[in-house]
Chain A
Amino acid sequence: DAGVTQSPTHLIKTRGQQVTLRCSPKSGHDTVSWYQQALGQGPQFIFQYYEEEERQRGNFPDRFSGHQFPNYSSELNVNALLLGDSALYLCASGWWGNQPQHFGDGTRLSIL
């Protein structure tokens, strides 16, 4: 039973570029949440998707957008990258209204 899978594992971009991160939820899960974890900090909630709609959003600018596909997989898009976007991006999946969330290994994004 595959857990939450994320791709790519590492990514290097330059300021101003755009990036897309991908997540496949654990089998049977229907919600996907995205978190940003800066070095030395706890994860910060970006947004959550359920039934292909953004259901809840944290305090992140519109440069951060996402999508959920009919197979429940999800993408996180970040436009106009800033140096401060360098972080570990974690995807978590679960059942709507249930807990806990299960996390992937993350994508480590570095902005030069």
Chain B
Amino acid sequence: AQKITQTQPGMFVQEKEAVTLDCTYDTSDPSYGLFWYKQPSSGEMIFLIYQGSYDQQNATEGRYSLNFQKARKSANLVISASQLGDSAMYFCAMREGTGNQFYFGTGTSLTVIP
């Protein structure tokens, strides 16, 4: 089974609108971390936000927030007030327990329309 599933290959959003990128995960380890990265066409992976499995509150970082629903095993990224510079690939990733391997999804391509 896939550790990380991103079911939206491509998404479009109007500038200044909010958008939600979906991510579901699969693990039996009670301790894990969930991450979102942004990858522009240049190739660099930019860390956006982190959520720990024991965190009680949803993580927020500026315009990014993570909608963490533990029972559903989902960790959706919400980008508020989209900007043209948000156009990129977005990857959800997970790290299990004490392991250092990151499992990545297949990504969602976000296009912000002026």
Residues of A within 8 A of B (CB): 31, 33, 35, 40-45, 48, 50, 55-56, 58, 88, 90, 92, 94, 96-97, 99-106, 108
Check B105 against A42 for contact (C-beta < 8 Å).
yes
Size bin of chain B's contact surface = 20 to 34
Q: Tell me the dominant secondary structure on chain B's binding face.
A: strand
Q: Tell me the dominant secondary structure on chain A's binding face.
A: strand
Task: Tell me, rounded to whole Å, the shortest Cβ–Cβ distance linking A100 to chain B.
Answer: 5
Alpha-carbon gap, A106 to B101, bound state (A) = 18
Q: Which residues of B contact A41 (CB under 8 A)?
A: 106-107
Most buried by B among A41, A43, A90, A102: A43
A selection of 12 A-B contacts at a CB cut-off of 8 Å is A33-B101, A40-B106, A43-B45, A44-B104, A55-B100, A58-B101, A96-B100, A101-B102, A103-B45, A105-B43, A106-B44, A108-B43
Alpha-carbon gap, A56 to B102, bound state (A) = 11
Check A103 against B35 for contact (C-beta < 8 Å).
no
